[in-house]
Amino acid sequence: MMLGVVFSRDRAMQLDATLRSFSVHCRDHREVRLFVIYKATRDLIREQYVRLAQEDRDVNFMEEEDFRSDFLGLLSAQLIGRPIGLFRRALIRRGAWVGRVNNLGVTFDRLRHLLFLVDDSIFVRDFSLHEVCEVLDGHPEALGFTFHLGRNVTSCYSHSKPQSLPRFTQLEGRVLEFDWSSAEDDFGYPMQLSGAVYRTSDLVPLLNTLPFENPNRLEAQMAARAHLFRRKEPCLLCYEQSVAFCNPINRVQTIYPNRVASTSDYSIERLAGMFEDGYRFKIEAYNGFVADGTAATQEIPPILQHPPNHRR
């Protein structure tokens, strides 16, 4: 009942870490239908994505051709349960101005929830998607469930400053609820792609009407329309302690000057070369990681390991 989409660009090694840490810490990861939409600007990295697809048969890999059409086509096909026809594909390609027409005939019974991930996320603590969806369904005032927030997130990486924690309400188990509409910084940013679950009935009608050509523009368009949900769904859910964090060791896009690690030790080219030599992230080294001050995004040097039986 859940569709997961992972967005990746020129980061085969980091994507491998995201997928492996997700499968280790998500107790019911086989219940999500997981797709990777990837873009490779170098032949070597494209080959590495193909290799990952062959290694992990439980994950579906799609090479990006036209991002908006690829993404919305995937959503439509999964929602209707079959490949989309020429009419719907033509609607998607016509752009955002006919997006409302593309919403016609779409129901949300097949896939009720959407999971979004990006390729520099690392999961560090166990969680259950069944629990996430159950709590989300039981609290209609909540827009989504985010994995990168919790009581431990006391500073904002992107703005390089401390941030105030919102007033939390304790729900079932480890789950907290807070009002994103009155929160600041990371807690006031309810729509993002780096690690969150939303209802398809909330997001898909909106996504079909948005203009975007890559994941960064998509998130910006979503964030700019968060106010549409302010009255009906002003709350957001998270665990008491974040179960994942983003590690921005390099930048793969030039659209937004997002803060990133200042060192060039882990450039796209270097990581691709290390991946080719058999290096991988040592996932178990991150288990239970808690960042002091910043947990949503935290710069730490990659902890790598080299398989002894690797053969090029």
Does residue 305 lie in a domain region? no
Does residue 225 lie in a domain region? yes
pLDDT for the residue 312: 42
| Rounded Cα–Cα distance for residues 5 and 117 (Å) | 6
What is the number of alpha carbons within 13 Å of residue 127 lying toward its C-beta?
29
Does residue 132 lie in a domain region? yes
Q: How many domains does the chain have?
A: 1
Q: How far is CA 63 from CA 38, 41, 86, 180, in A?
A: 5, 11, 20, 34
User: 310 burial class (0-12, 13-18, 19+ CB within 10 angstroms)?
Assistant: exposed
| Rounded Cα–Cα distance for residues 134 and 13 (Å) | 33
Does residue 152 lie in a domain region? yes
pLDDT for the residue 311: 46
The contacts of residue 70 (CB under 8 Å, 6+ apart) are 37, 62, 64
Does residue 290 lie in a domain region? yes
What CATH code is carried by the domain that includes residue 292? 3.90.550.10
Q: What is the DSSP letter of 187?
A: G
pLDDT for the residue 187: 96
Does residue 306 lie in a domain region? no
Ramachandran sector of residue 38 (left: φ over 0; alpha: ψ -120 to 50; beta: rest): beta
H or E segment and range at residue 157: none
Does residue 307 lie in a domain region? no
| 168 C-beta neighbours (distance < 10 Å), count | 16
- 3-state secondary structure (DSSP) of residue 208: coil
Does residue 311 lie in a domain region? no
Q: Which amino acid is at 131?
A: E
Q: What are φ and ψ of residue 238, in 5° steps?
A: -160, 170
Per-residue tens of pLDDT for the chain, all 312 residues: 799 999 999 999 999 999 999 999 999 999 999 999 999 999 999 999 999 999 988 899 999 999 999 999 999 888 888 877 777 778 788 777 777 777 766 677 778 999 999 999 999 999 999 999 999 999 999 999 999 999 999 888 777 788 899 999 999 889 999 999 999 999 999 999 999 999 999 999 999 999 999 999 999 999 999 999 999 999 999 999 999 998 887 766 556 555 555 555 788 888 899 999 999 999 999 998 875 555 567 777 888 888 655 544
Comparing CA positions, the residue from 172, 188, 145 lying closest to residue 26 is: 145
- 3-state secondary structure (DSSP) of residue 33: strand
pLDDT for the residue 264: 59
Comparing CA positions, the residue from 306, 305, 303 lying closest to residue 122 is: 303
Which residues, in sequence order, are bridge partners of residue 39?
9
| 233 C-beta neighbours (distance < 10 Å), count | 21
Q: Are 192 and 116 in contact (CB under 8 A)?
A: yes
